[in-house]
Amino acid sequence: MCGIIGYIGPRQVHDVLLEGLSRLEYRGYDSAGLAVHTGDEVLTERTVGNLAVLRRAMSAGWAAHDATTTSTVDVAAGIAHTRWATHGGVTEANTHPHTDCGDRIHVVLNGIIENHQELRARLADDGCAFTSETDAEPIAHLIEHHLRAVDDLHEAVRRTVLELEGHFAIVVLDRDEPHTLIAARRDCPLVVGLGDGE
Ligand code: GLU
């Protein structure tokens, strides 16, 4: 059983996410990842192994962006995931967050999407290129697909969730909407709030 986290607020986003991930460690996981909106861009890191591996990759790769100290917005957002693989091997490519073709939509998934193969086939027919074997990636592409029709993130996510079968919780981060996170769940336990001072 893995865990997902979304945070939007004034605190240093990556700190909150890493703290949240470490609270979820007891549930077990094989890989971990996160995506943080700095205001200008979305930085992601995904690694196989424990959180120490993720932290090392971040300190090696994120310094150039100064993302560990600076955000260009007062309120920033991020999502994170500890994965317990159910669909697709334990590889970096299968580690969450997953994105759409344009790297705009970032998604973390807890649970299982039972109709992921049908969705994948339909989206591939539509021209989507997949980079992983997971049941999570089709969600990002499906949101992308609906965004073409409605140009409204909430509505695109709503339409996407209606098409998903299974038990799951997701959090969605949009590169084009730095002040928005959308979460949805079906038949999945909802867990924690990380309040100030906790
Ligand atoms: N089914 C997803 C995967 O295999 C998420 C598994 C989980 O809940 O960690 O990537």
Ligand 1 pocket test: which of 1, 94, 96 has the largest number of ligand atoms within 8 Å of its C-beta? Answer: 96
CA-wise closest residue to 3 among 31, 35, 37, 44:
31
- Answer whether residue 20 shows pLDDT above 90: yes
Binding-site residues, ligand 1, Cβ < 6 A: 2, 83-88, 94, 109-112, 134-136
Ligand 1 pocket test: which of 21, 112, 188 has the largest number of ligand atoms within 8 Å of its C-beta? Answer: 112
Q: Measure 41 CA to ligand 1 centroid, in angstroms.
A: 26
Report pLDDT for 198.
36
Report pLDDT for 190.
60
Chain segment 98-147, per-residue pLDDT in tens: 999 999 999 999 999 999 999 999 999 999 999 999 999 999 999 999 99
Chain segment 52-79, per-residue pLDDT in tens: 999 999 987 776 665 444 555 566 899 9
Q: Measure 152 CA to ligand 1 centroid, in angstroms.
A: 27
Report pLDDT for 76.
85
Ligand 1 pocket test: which of 5, 86, 167 has the largest number of ligand atoms within 8 Å of its C-beta? Answer: 86
- Answer whether residue 1 shows pLDDT above 90: no
- Answer whether residue 191 shows pLDDT above 80: no
- pLDDT (mean) for 44-53: 97
Instruction: Work out the pLDDT band at 197, boundaries 50, 70, 90.
Output: very low
Q: Measure 64 CA to ligand 1 centroid, in angstroms.
A: 30
